[in-house]
């Protein structure tokens, strides 16, 4: 479908700029593994110290690349599936707001004034520019969501009896979760951290800030994951040569994420004081609840892939897997999506371990955690973003993808590296290896107070995995940037492989509306979070002075 020239250009840059920034994010990931393994004595050759490099790695990879791509992906889905143009001015202002926010936050990090990691927990304090930057990135994504509402309402008026396209259900569900979840973190930043950083207030309630962050922080992961789920339900069956086993299952999954993504955040705080056990138990139960839509997805995807394999002539019990187009260079998006799905088997199962209160006490704040979240964020979410980015940048620029053989191998090399990387971290974590710990030394240095001989093997396995992941990323950057340097050979467009549903499922009202699901979500959120906030306000003492990771004593408020 042809799109407005300005919209096309904005979308092209909204996808290209994060991939350019990703080169820095990947570099600092590599330097982390080399430094922790004692191979290099600095965690960054760009003059950044360990926590600065880690903050840059987390903010670029987990906040910037994701938010830019997911908003751009949403624009293209609305254009393609509703056959509606977007207001170019809104698309542009959404992009510019996110870009200005990114520059502000990146300046603060690179200037060494925001070494607070991607969770920016107080009493670590950042420069006001970091917090303002974070707010602008979120507001830019809200403008993106706002730009879809009018075209959607117009489409509904014109098509009162047509099922909302599944991709549109998916992207609106993603952004409904995102919009609700960003409200508490907007409060945390605008009314707590920013005035504190400006020196207007001397202290901040650390527990309240943490609780508001995780009120936002766990639904944040579904903001990252759901675009991959949209590709799984809408594109993967078609790419595999089959049909989606159940369109209705897909709708129910997206609506369940609206209802259950948010009231679970206390599961990041099982070890925190101030929050009562009963409440932690409630969030545990709800966390197992939010795993249900993913388990439905596992079975729906397996059924859809089996159908595709049988369409390709498979007859045995399992040999349908061998019939799938793993190395088809034209259907390369299949490779990115199936790799993400395979990784997510482990990412999801380790999430269930995290959610088990007693097992969480073993793994909390250990290297297990980055093992889990690289199997989730850097698995299905990141691979869908890479596959989606190369697909869209090719379509939006009218340029054929170059190095096609490399392109289809990228996700499998990444999968190999990531499995090694995460295994090393999780096995080390089970042996007590801490996360986010520097002390300026490495675990493999016998003189280090952190030295533990039994961690050395795991740290080295993690390093080998990280190097393989870097090789995959370099292959991807080669494909991406040689494609950009290629000649235009077709008219820029937006198009997606779209699966038919295996079962002919007529439209049902309760699966074709967002309202009841939003109401249910708000009710459960109030039940899960009013007591949490009350606990925190009742059980925490005076606020904390400011600390920096580089100074063991409080520093004066404000930068
Ligand atoms: Fe998590 C911590 C629990 C999912 C990301 N998580 C984190 C952190 C991040 C993160 C970033 O309960 C650390 C934050 C920090 O810095 O401290 N997580 C869960 C649970 C799930 C879960 C229960 N997490 C995610 C996703 C993420 C993500 C998704 C990013 C995108 N997580 C936790 C908990 C903590 C936590 C605690 C706090 C720990 C602590 O102590 O701090 C669930 O949503 C998982 C459900 C998923 C499944 C798997 C379904 C499998 C599928 C694939 C099927 C494959 C097929 C392929 C069909 C049960 C869908 C077949 C193959 C063929 C070849 C045919």
CA geometry: angle at 414 spanning 409 and 419, to 5°? 135
* Interval between CA 294 and ligand 1 midpoint (Å): 9
Please list, in sequence order, all residues whose beta carbon lies within 8 angstroms of the beta carbon of residue 455, skipping any fewer than 6 positions away. 428, 431, 433, 443, 444
Q: Among 310, 312, 364, 436, which one carries the catalytic annotation?
A: 436
Phi and psi at residue 151, to the nearest 5°: -60, -35
Q: How far apart are CA 58 and CA 507, in angstroms?
A: 42
**What pLDDT does 446 receive?**
79
214 vs 512: CA distance, rounded Å: 30
Query: Is residue 522 very low, low, confident or very high in pLDDT (cuts 50, 70, 90)?
Result: very high
- Positive or negative: CA dihedral 323, 327, 330, 334: positive
pLDDT digits (tens, 9 = 90+) for 93-106: 999 999 999 999 99
Q: Which of 222, 232, 336, 443 is catalytic?
A: 222
**Would residue 373 show up in a list of annotated catalytic residues for this protein?**
yes
Tell me if 451 sits within 8 A of 439, measured CB to CB: no
Residue of 28, 248, 267, 372 marked catalytic:
372
Q: Is 283 a catalytic residue?
A: no
Q: Would you say how long the chain is, in residues? A: 559
pLDDT tops 80 at residue 122: yes
Work out the pLDDT band at 546, boundaries 50, 70, 90: confident
Pick from 373, 411, 430 the residue to mutate for probing ligand 1's pocket: most ligand atoms within 8 Å of its CB.
Answer: 373
Other Cβ atoms within 10 Å of 554 Cβ, number: 14
Statement: residue 554 has pLDDT above 70: no
Q: Ligand 1 atom closest to Cα of 224? A: 31
Distance CA 483, CA 469 (A): 21
**Residue whose CB lies within 8 A of the most ligand 1 atoms, among 121, 348, 359, for a mutation test:** 348
The rounded Å distance from CA 556 to ligand 1 centre is 38
Per-residue pLDDT for 318 more than 80? Answer: yes
Q: Bigger pLDDT: 276 or 542?
A: 276
**Is the pLDDT score of 526 beyond 60?**
yes
Nearest-CA residue for atom 34 of ligand 1: 354
The predicted model gives 372-379 an average pLDDT of 98
For tokens 């080295």, name the residue.
460
Q: Residue 374 catalytic?
A: yes
- Bridge partners of 124, per DSSP, are 547
Instruction: Using the atom order of ligand 1, give the atom closest to the CA of residue 291.
Output: 46
Annotated active-site residue 172? The verdict is no
Alpha-helical runs (H) found in 159-246: 166-187, 194-197, 206-234, 236-240
| Segment 423-441, tens digit of pLDDT | 999 999 999 888 988 754 5
- Catalytic, 435? Answer yes
Residue 555: pLDDT band by 50, 70, 90 thresholds?
Answer: low
Q: What pTM was computed for the model?
A: 0.96
**Residue 551 pLDDT greater than 90, yes or no:** no
Which atom, in ligand 1's list, is nearest to the CA of 364? 41
- Residue in 373, 443, 476, 559 annotated catalytic: 373
Cβ atoms 72, 392 nearer than 8 A: yes
- Percent of the chain predicted with pLDDT > 70: 97
pLDDT at 559 over 60: no
Question: What is the distance in A from the centroid of ligand 1 to the CA of 13?
Answer: 30
The string of pLDDT tens digits covering residues 36-61 is 888 888 888 888 888 899 999 999 99
Q: Which of 71-85, 441-455, 494-508 has the highest mean pLDDT?
A: 71-85
Cα(374) to centroid(ligand 1), Å: 9
Which two structure tokens, joined as six digits, stand for 71?
A: 């908003």
Tokens linked to 427:
């096995």
- Taking CA atoms only, the protein residue closest to ligand 1 atom 42 is 268
Residues with CB under 6 A from ligand 1: 119, 221, 224-225, 267-268, 287, 290-291, 294-295, 297-298, 301-302, 305, 321, 338, 341-342, 344-345, 348, 351-352, 354-355, 360, 364, 369, 372-373, 376-377, 381
Q: What is the mean pLDDT of residues 170-180?
A: 98
Q: Note if 229 is an active site residue.
A: no
pLDDT of residue 556: 59
Pairing, β 551-555 against β 546-548:
antiparallel
Pocket test for ligand 1, best of 318, 347, 422 (most atoms within 8 A of CB): 347
């Amino acid at each position: 479908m042809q799109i407005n020239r300005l919209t096309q250009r904005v979308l092209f840059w909204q996808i290209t700029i994060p991939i350019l920034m990703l080169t820095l994010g990947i570099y600092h990931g590599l330097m982390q593994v080399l430094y922790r393994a004692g191979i290099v004595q600095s965690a960054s050759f760009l003059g950044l110290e360990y926590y600065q490099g880690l903050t840059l790695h987390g903010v670029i990879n987990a906040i910037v690349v994701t938010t830019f791509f997911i908003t751009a992906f949403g624009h293209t889905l609305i254009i393609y599936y509703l056959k509606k143009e977007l207001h170019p001015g809104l698309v542009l202002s959404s992009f510019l707001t996110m870009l200005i926010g990114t520059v502000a936050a990146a300046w603060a990090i690179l200037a060494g004034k925001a070494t607070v990691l991607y969770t920016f927990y107080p009493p670590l304090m950042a420069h006001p520019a970091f917090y303002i930057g974070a707010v602008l990135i979120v507001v830019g994504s809200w403008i993106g969501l706002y730009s879809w509402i009018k075209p959607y309402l117009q489409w509904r008026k014109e098509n009162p009896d047509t099922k909302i396209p599944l991709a549109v259900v998916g992207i609106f569900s993603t952004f409904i979760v995102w919009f609700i979840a960003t409200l508490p973190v907007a409060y945390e930043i605008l009314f707590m951290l920013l005035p504190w950083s400006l020196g207007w207030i001397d202290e901040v309630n650390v527990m309240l800030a943490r609780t508001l962050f995780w009120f936002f922080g766990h639904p944040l992961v579904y903001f990252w994951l759901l675009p991959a789920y949209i590709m799984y339900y809408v594109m993967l069956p078609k790419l595999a040569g089959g049909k989606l086993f159940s369109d209705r299952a897909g709708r129910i999954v997206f609506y369940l994420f609206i209802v259950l993504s948010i009231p679970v955040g206390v599961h990041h705080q099982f070890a925190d004081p101030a929050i009562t056990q009963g409440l932690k138990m409630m969030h545990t139960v709800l966390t197992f609840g939010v795993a249900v839509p993913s388990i439905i997805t596992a079975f729906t995807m397996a059924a859809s892939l089996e159908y595709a394999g049988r369409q390709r002539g498979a007859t045995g019990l399992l040999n349908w897997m061998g019939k799938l187009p793993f190395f088809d260079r034209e259907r390369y998006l299949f490779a990115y999506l199936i790799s993400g799905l395979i990784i997510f088997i482990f990412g999801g199962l380790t999430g269930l371990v995290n959610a088990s209160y007693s097992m969480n006490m073993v793994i909390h704040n250990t290297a297990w955690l980055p093992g889990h979240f690289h199997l989730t964020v850097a698995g299905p979410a990141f691979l869908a973003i890479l596959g989606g980015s190369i697909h869209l940048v090719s379509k939006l620029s009218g340029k054929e993808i170059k190095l096609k053989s490399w392109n289809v191998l990228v996700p499998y090399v990444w999968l190999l590296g990531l499995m090694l990387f995460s295994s090393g971290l999780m096995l080390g974590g089970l042996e007590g290896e801490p996360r986010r710990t520097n002390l300026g030394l490495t675990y493999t240095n016998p003189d280090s107070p952190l030295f533990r001989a039994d961690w050395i093997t795991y740290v080295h396995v993690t390093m080998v995995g990280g190097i393989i992941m870097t090789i995959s990323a370099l292959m991807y950057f080669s494909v991406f940037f040689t494609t950009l340097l290629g000649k235009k050979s077709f008219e820029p467009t937006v198009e997606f492989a779209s699966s038919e549903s295996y079962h002919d499922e007529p439209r049902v009202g309760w699966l074709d509306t967002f309202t009841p699901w939003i109401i249910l979500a708000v009710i459960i959120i109030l039940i899960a979070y009013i007591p949490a906030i009350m606990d925190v306000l009742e059980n925490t003492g005076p606020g904390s002075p400011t600390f920096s990771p580089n100074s063991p004593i409080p520093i004066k408020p404000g930068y």
